[in-house]
Amino acid sequence: MATIVVGVTGGVAAFKAPIVVRECQRAGHDVYVAATRASLDFVGRSTWEGITSRPVAVDIAGEGRAEHVELARVADLIVIVPATANSLARLAGGFADDMVSLTVLASDAPVVVAPAMHSNMWLAPATQANVQTLRERGFHVIEPASGALGSGDSGVGRLPEPVDIARAALEVLDAHEQASSALAGRTVVITAGGTREPIDPVRFLGNQSSGRQGLAIASAAARAGASVRVIAANVESALLATLPTAVQVTRVGSALQMREATIAQVADADALVMTAAVADFRPEAASESKIKKDPSNEEAPTIRLVRNPDILAEIGHSEQRPPLVVGFAAETGTEEEILAYGADKAARKGADFICLNRVGESVGFGDVPNDIRLLDARGAIAGRYVGSKDEVAAGLVGHMASFLDNLKR
Q: What is the CATH number of the domain that holds 258?
A: 3.40.50.10300
Are both 164 and 194 inside the same structural domain?
no
H/E stretch holding 93: helix 85-93
- Cα–Cα nearest to 87, from 21, 38, 142: 38
pLDDT at residue 190, rounded to an integer: 98
Task: Tell me the backbone φ, ψ of residue 149, rounded to 5 degrees.
Answer: -110, 165
C-beta atoms surrounding 376 within 10 Å: 16
Q: What's the order of all strands across the beta sheet hosting 370-376?
A: 248-252, 227-233, 187-193, 271-274, 324-331, 353-358, 370-376, 381-387
CATH of the domain at 103: 3.40.50.1950
What residues are designated binding site?
Answer: 280, 290, 309-312, 328, 345, 349
* Residues 107, 70: Cα–Cα separation, whole Å: 10
Are both 199 and 163 inside the same structural domain?
no
pLDDT at residue 143, rounded to an integer: 95
* Residues 183, 224: Cα–Cα separation, whole Å: 5
What residues are designated binding site for CTP?
Answer: 280, 290, 309-312, 328, 345, 349
pLDDT at residue 362, rounded to an integer: 46
* Residues 250, 238: Cα–Cα separation, whole Å: 15
Are both 248 and 373 inside the same structural domain?
yes
pLDDT at residue 64, rounded to an integer: 45
* Residues 22, 120: Cα–Cα separation, whole Å: 31
Domain boundary among 165, 180, 195: 180
Q: Are strands 281-283 and 271-274 parallel, antiparallel or unpaired?
A: unpaired
Domain boundary among 180, 213, 246: 180
- Cα–Cα nearest to 353, from 272, 408, 265, 266: 272
pLDDT at residue 295, rounded to an integer: 84
Instruction: Name residues whose C-beta falls within 8 Å of residue 55's C-beta, 6 or more positions apart in sequence.
Output: 45, 49
Are both 118 and 206 inside the same structural domain?
no
Domain boundary among 180, 213, 234: 180
User: For the stretch 381-403, what's the b/e string if a residue is b when 16 or more beta carbons lie within 10 angstroms of its beta carbon?
Assistant: eeeebebbbbbbbbbbbbbbbeb
pLDDT at residue 363, rounded to an integer: 46
- Cα–Cα nearest to 111, from 74, 139, 83, 82: 139
H/E stretch holding 298: none
Total domain count for the chain?
A: 2
Are both 299 and 172 inside the same structural domain?
no
Are both 154 and 200 inside the same structural domain?
no
Are both 131 and 211 inside the same structural domain?
no
Are both 321 and 364 inside the same structural domain?
yes
pLDDT at residue 78, rounded to an integer: 97
* Residues 31, 250: Cα–Cα separation, whole Å: 41
* Residues 58, 35: Cα–Cα separation, whole Å: 5
Are both 172 and 195 inside the same structural domain?
no
Are both 78 and 202 inside the same structural domain?
no
Rounded to 5°, the CA angle 287-290-291 comes to 80
**120, 207, 297, 357: the active-site residue:** 207
Task: Write out the E strands in 124-167.
Answer: 140-141, 145-148, 154-158
- Tell me if residue 207 is catalytic: yes
Are both 220 and 297 inside the same structural domain?
yes
* Residues 140, 80: Cα–Cα separation, whole Å: 10
pLDDT at residue 151, rounded to an integer: 74
* Predicted TM-score of the model (pTM): 0.66
pLDDT at residue 321, rounded to an integer: 93
- Cα–Cα nearest to 93, from 133, 33, 51, 38: 133
Strand partners, 371: 386
pLDDT in tens, the chain (409 residues): 899 999 999 999 999 999 999 999 999 999 999 999 999 999 999 999 999 999 999 987 654 456 657 888 899 999 999 999 999 999 999 998 999 999 999 998 999 999 999 999 999 999 999 999 999 888 999 999 988 887 778 889 899 999 999 999 999 998 888 777 889 999 999 999 999 999 999 999 998 889 999 999 999 999 899 999 999 999 999 999 989 999 999 999 999 999 999 999 999 999 999 999 999 999 999 888 898 888 888 888 889 999 999 999 999 999 889 999 999 988 888 888 888 888 888 889 999 999 998 765 544 444 556 788 999 988 889 999 888 888 889 889 999 999 998 886 5
Are both 284 and 140 inside the same structural domain?
no
* Domain hosting residue 359, numbered range: 187-407
Task: Write out the E strands in 116-186.
Answer: 140-141, 145-148, 154-158
- DSSP label at 406? H
* Residues 237, 394: Cα–Cα separation, whole Å: 23
- Cα–Cα nearest to 83, from 98, 68, 67: 98
- Classify residue 215 as left (phi > 0), alpha (psi -120 to 50) or beta: alpha
Task: Write out the E strands in 261-397.
Answer: 271-274, 281-283, 305-307, 324-331, 353-358, 370-376, 381-387
